[in-house]
Homo-oligomer: A and B are copies of this chain.
């Protein structure tokens, strides 16, 4: 990246989400932006989502016909949303005097497996796109969709368009995949909460993965993982201004010098505790096996040490799954003879993330001390190599985020070896 946050002339994949193409005026804005990039001498491939609201409209139609729609047919219906977007964006670019040509998932040869509504990309035959670029056209590719070997239409699930963008960038050996969103990039903390939050000029794939899974909604984990596995550089930036955003790239020595890169929070989980569980082998497996059967994703799990042959198990699930999880848990606690079940929706998960943690000690204790000083009780703790998460009472969320941002000096560039 050069000083202006641009790159030298090359092949750029740009991905625009549903909000960026939400109406005709916004589609025109995207067209102008794409043309600007082209006029700087770049080859440009654009990946677009369905217009905001369109996927929901189509889903609602399908659900009016069937409560549990066949997923092959659902994909046939859903894929039309992106198909309309590529046509409209292509028209808008042509209207401004530039060559553009649209491609659906099948035209661009985005091969996937047969897992309808959540298909995985297996290969991309980018020949038609390459041909379009050679002819000086801007190629517009439908995000979120692909095609199976049997020529059935598939969709890629949540964050699918980001994935299309990154996969196209890989197939074309593009210099960068720009993901346009409604924020300027990745911040050290939510700027709405922390006025001193600083935009990161770059972040490692692993940090981005932690941030994504911790609730920072900038990028879906799947696309970051794909980019990490194949070394595709991602540039997260705003579709509403020209500021350089955040580059998501391979870890480098520079990054490791900073201990903590960002503070995130997630208010969308609920906690369930099962008290007085007989401490016998296989109980946890039985419990979480049943929960998993219902496709409920359990996040943190904590089991205290056993006292008097009984133990307590606590775990968190997404709030919308709380009721169903409690049903399952109550059924099982009866069977296994546990004492009682309590749940709490008023919790929040606050986390610090940074690849520098690997080589720095004392980060966890600094976090706990900080929260303690503010009088915030820590209910659960979970750690990975590059992040530490604490479950706290949700009313302290903002306070905790601000305090941690301050303690790790994120507004000033972060605690580093030199500081």
Spell out A's residues near B (CB within 8 Å): 24, 27-28, 58, 61-62, 64-66, 69-70, 72-74, 76-77, 79-80, 83-84, 86-88, 90-92, 94-95, 101-102, 104, 106-107, 128, 151-153
**Docked complex Cα distance between A77 and B85 (Å):** 8
* Contact indicator B92/A66 (Cβ below 8 Å): yes
Known contacts A87-B73, A87-B77, A90-B73; is-contact A24 B64 (Cβ 8 Å) = yes
Chain B: CB-nearest residue to A27 = B65
Please name 27 pairs of A and B residues whose Cβ atoms are closer than 8 Å in the assembled complex, sorted by A: A24-B61, A24-B64, A24-B65, A27-B65, A28-B65, A61-B84, A62-B87, A62-B88, A62-B91, A65-B91, A65-B92, A65-B95, A66-B91, A70-B91, A72-B102, A73-B88, A73-B90, A73-B102, A74-B87, A76-B87, A76-B104, A77-B83, A77-B87, A79-B83, A80-B84, A106-B106, A107-B152
- Given contacts A61-B84, A76-B87, 6 further A-B pairs with CB under 8 A are A24-B65, A62-B87, A65-B91, A70-B90, A73-B94, A73-B102
The interface residues of chain B lying within 8 Å CB-to-CB of A28 are 65
**Docked complex Cα distance between A92 and B64 (Å):** 9
The interface residues of chain B lying within 8 Å CB-to-CB of A79 are 83
**Docked complex Cα distance between A4 and B90 (Å):** 52
Question: Which residue, A90, A151, A152, has most C-beta atoms of chain B within 10 A?
Answer: A90
Chain B: CB-nearest residue to A77 = B87
Chain B: CB-nearest residue to A89 = B65
Chain B: CB-nearest residue to A88 = B65
